[in-house]
A and B are shown apart, each in its own frame.
Chain A
Amino acid sequence: MPCYYDLMLYSHCGTKIVKQASNTMWGFLMSKEFNSKLTDLKRYFFNESDVRKFIDFLMTKAEVIAPQTKGEQSFAYNVVKNSSDVALEYPRTMQPLKKYFLPPVETLLTFKMSSNEFSEEVIEAKKQIFFGIHSYEMKGIHLLDYCLGKGKPESNYLKRRANALIIGISYKPDKYHFATSLGIDIEETEGFALFFEKVTEGYLVFVVTDEGAELIKDFSGGKPIDEQVNIEELPQQAKIKYHYNRLPQVFEHVYNSRVWDHFADKCVGCGTCNLLCPTCYCFDVRDEVGLNADDGKRQRFWDGCMLNSFAEVAGGENFRNKLAARMRHRLYRKFSYITKSSGELHCVGCGRCTRYCPADISIVEIINSLIEDYSAQQKKQAV
């Protein structure tokens, strides 16, 4: 068991700020764990009204995008009109943040059919502030940065990313989150300018980058604090049976596993898992023409490898016409194929694919079944 369970005992007083005992026997246990990421950071204390005021303040600087309620029990990132609309505690939004960097529909060029001319689509890259983003979401963006930045970089995506300032927030895991199982702690701050940590009385605001420091310097609310603090680690409920760094190894051995057929039997191929995944970025390109039958746009649209026609060629051959093959491809893209070049897992444990699957297929169950299969193979070989 990772050592933070011991730490939890220490910080048993819940989410209250407690002074950290320095140079105690616990020190060595904290080497990689959550609080080391926050230990050296400058911090402020905000009560909730400070937080709302801070969002108002951000809105004077740029367009602010944050999670807000949608429907009866869902959340979605949207442009903030009122700071009071911002959801500070939410399990996850339906669509990931990537919709702002790689929009579901994006014009690549506009053309005129009669003259065979096209114009380049110059995108406006305005400053945007994203507030209230969870660590797994940030990781998802980092992974997209890798996929869209390598080889021939996607300039539109990179322009939008360069203009984004992202502010993180902690979250209370529900039964679908498994980010910590993949090594992404709730308090992982990489990529954020500031990080808001929920404590009982309000929020601890950690200054992560110089840009974050600038922002908070200009803001009149909140109060700086000096104490070292310790924060309760909330265990994630969904757990992967192996340490995440063993998963690529597992995937080397389960290509022909029966697990794929078992789960594909339940799958209806609706593509929800692709459409909501923070690290999926496959797309289709189509030309749309206006009603004057002359002016048109070449656009790209999000696509998904779970959809039947994804690997179908013009001649009619479908190279992945079985759901099991498509499901396997989707998971291998997350845990093996891209991992070979990036060295990272391309799943962030947000739990969206499981939470929204109409057929109740759980990605954690798939992975754990694959692990079982792998471990059975290993035992057999040992005998």
Chain B
Amino acid sequence: MLTNTTEMKDLYYPLMSDIIKVEQLTATEKRFEIALPDNQVLNHKPGQFVEVSLFGFGEAPISISSSPTKTPAFDLTVRRTGKLTDKMHELAVGSKLGIRGPFGNGFDVDFMKGKDMLFIAGGIGLAPLKSLIDYTIDKRKDFGRIIIVYGTKHPSEILFSNEIEKWKNLKDVEFHMTVDRPDDNWKGNIGVITTLIPPLEINVENTIASIVGPPIMYKFVLMSLNSKRIPDENIYMSLERRMKCGVGKCGHCQINHSYVCQDGPVYHYPKAKELEEAV
């Protein structure tokens, strides 16, 4: 069991950390590689998040997009959507930002051991899911098949193209992708992500599906997994909500009785199903 060893003097004090690499992924998304002070290791689980803070711009929860197998630095993939993320996009290597965390519940990698892994990512959802994808690839022999299904609205929104090329070339990784609207150069699948699910040939009893995407996507993906007869117990999903404190106090992320920052963002589907507001 991985535990949180990041020490914080109080709940709300961030650890000032360095941006050591910045990579522009799309017009609106950048990947930042972050190093905690004194070579500290974040010690996160795939699927967990940190609260990123920039003084004057506030804090925002951002999922960790690298695997804990990659240390000591970790990756955050950030879309510009607001005050803090706009500012973050202006930052260069050498800039500082505050980190609190890791927070929340990650993917249950122990339960997933030995299973076939089906990853379903929509849009920016690939960022949090990549922490688990990388983890399974780094610990390849611990897992069965690795099937990645990825959909975006448009080819210009494709994240991690370098990694995707690598995944495509790996013999033991199956990669499927689609876009809603193609551009002139697009030669792949066209259509929403659920069109990729029915043709998959999988051993449903031994396959774990992990889903991350925009709120609207879950209902349809779940329906499609359901018609493939994947048992609920084999499904994990990560949910997005507004968050402020990250420590189960401020109330913003609450879905029924569950705090996403504590019980989530990753939920075992049977648990998420009990939450009427979840999907």
Q: CA separation between A112 and B54, bound complex, in Å? A: 11
- Chain A nearest CB from B16 CB (Å) reads 6
Please pick, from B12, B82, B85, the residue contacting A108 in the complex, using a CB distance under 8 A.
B12
Which of these binds chain B: A132-140, A149-157, A199-207? A149-157
Q: CA separation between A118 and B215, bound complex, in Å? A: 36
Query: Is B9 touching A120 in the complex (CB atoms < 8 A)?
Result: yes
- Chain B nearest CB from A184 CB (Å) reads 23
Chain B 33-52 residues near chain A, CB threshold 8 A: none
Q: CA separation between A152 and B215, bound complex, in Å? A: 29
Chain A residue contacts of B13, Cβ below 8 A:
109, 118, 120
Chain B 263-279 residues near chain A, CB threshold 8 A: 276-277
Q: CA separation between A112 and B60, bound complex, in Å? A: 19
Chain A residue contacts of B256, Cβ below 8 A:
332, 337
Give the nearest-CB partner of A290 in chain B: B56
Chain A residue contacts of B257, Cβ below 8 A:
332, 336-338, 340
Chain A residue contacts of B12, Cβ below 8 A:
108-109, 285, 298
- Chain B nearest CB from A176 CB (Å) reads 25
Query: Is B250 touching A284 in the complex (CB atoms < 8 A)?
Result: yes
Chain A 114-154 residues near chain B, CB threshold 8 A: 116-118, 120, 147-148, 151-152, 154
Please pick, from A116, A155, A313, A336, the residue contacting B10 in the complex, using a CB distance under 8 A.
A155
Which of these binds chain A: B133-141, B162-170, B222-230, B238-246? B238-246
Please pick, from B10, B56, B98, B241, the residue contacting A311 in the complex, using a CB distance under 8 A.
B241
Give the nearest-CB partner of B60 in chain A: A314
Query: Is B55 touching A111 in the complex (CB atoms < 8 A)?
Result: yes
- Chain B nearest CB from A344 CB (Å) reads 14
Query: Is A319 touching B59 in the complex (CB atoms < 8 A)?
Result: no
Q: Known: A281-B251, A303-B250. Contact between A313 and B240, CB under 8 A?
A: yes
Please pick, from A282, A287, A305, the residue contacting B58 in the complex, using a CB distance under 8 A.
A287
Query: Is B244 touching A285 in the complex (CB atoms < 8 A)?
Result: yes
Give the nearest-CB partner of B215 in chain A: A317
Query: Is B81 touching A314 in the complex (CB atoms < 8 A)?
Result: yes
Chain B residue contacts of A284, Cβ below 8 A:
244, 250, 252
Chain A interface size, as a band, is 35 or more
Name A's interface SS: mixed
Q: Known: A111-B56, A112-B55, A317-B215. Contact between A148 and B249, CB under 8 A?
A: yes
Query: Is A296 touching B55 in the complex (CB atoms < 8 A)?
Result: yes
- Chain B nearest CB from A206 CB (Å) reads 35
Give the nearest-CB partner of B53 in chain A: A298
Q: CA separation between A286 and B60, bound complex, in Å? A: 11
Q: CA separation between A315 and B13, bound complex, in Å? A: 26
Tell which of B57, B214, B242 has the most Cβ of chain A within 10 Å: B242
Q: CA separation between A209 and B277, bound complex, in Å? A: 45
B96 at the interface (CB under 8 A from A): yes
B112 at the interface (CB under 8 A from A): no
Q: CA separation between A138 and B88, bound complex, in Å? A: 45
B11 at the interface (CB under 8 A from A): yes
Chain A 279-313 residues near chain B, CB threshold 8 A: 281-287, 289, 296, 298, 300, 303, 305, 310-313
Q: CA separation between A108 and B82, bound complex, in Å? A: 22
Please pick, from B11, B214, B262, B277, the residue contacting A319 in the complex, using a CB distance under 8 A.
B277
Give the nearest-CB partner of B124 in chain A: A315
Q: Known: A151-B262, A285-B59, A313-B240. Contact between A255 and B252, CB under 8 A?
A: no
Tell which of A281, A283, A332 has the most Cβ of chain B within 10 Å: A283
Please pick, from B58, B214, B240, B277, the residue contacting A285 in the complex, using a CB distance under 8 A.
B58
Chain B residue contacts of A117, Cβ below 8 A:
16
Query: Is A152 touching B11 in the complex (CB atoms < 8 A)?
Result: yes
- Chain B nearest CB from A310 CB (Å) reads 7
- Chain A nearest CB from B101 CB (Å) reads 12
B109 at the interface (CB under 8 A from A): no
Give the nearest-CB partner of A329 in chain B: B254
B247 at the interface (CB under 8 A from A): yes
B248 at the interface (CB under 8 A from A): yes
Q: Known: A152-B11, A285-B244, A313-B241. Contact between A296 and B56, CB under 8 A?
A: yes
Known: A120-B13, A283-B245, A285-B58. 8 other contacts (CB 8 A): A109-B12, A118-B14, A147-B249, A151-B262, A152-B247, A154-B249, A155-B10, A313-B241
Interface residues of A (CB under 8 A from B): 108-109, 111-113, 116-118, 120, 147-148, 151-152, 154-155, 255, 281-287, 289, 296, 298, 300, 303, 305, 310-315, 317, 319-320, 325, 329, 332-333, 336-338, 340
Can you report 23 residue pairs joining A to B where beta carbons are below 8 Å apart?
A108-B12, A118-B55, A120-B9, A120-B10, A151-B247, A152-B248, A154-B11, A154-B249, A155-B11, A283-B251, A284-B252, A298-B12, A298-B58, A300-B244, A305-B251, A310-B252, A313-B241, A314-B81, A317-B240, A319-B241, A325-B277, A332-B256, A337-B256
Closest 9 pairs (CB-CB, A-B): A282-B251, A337-B257, A111-B55, A314-B81, A314-B82, A108-B12, A116-B96, A113-B56, A152-B247
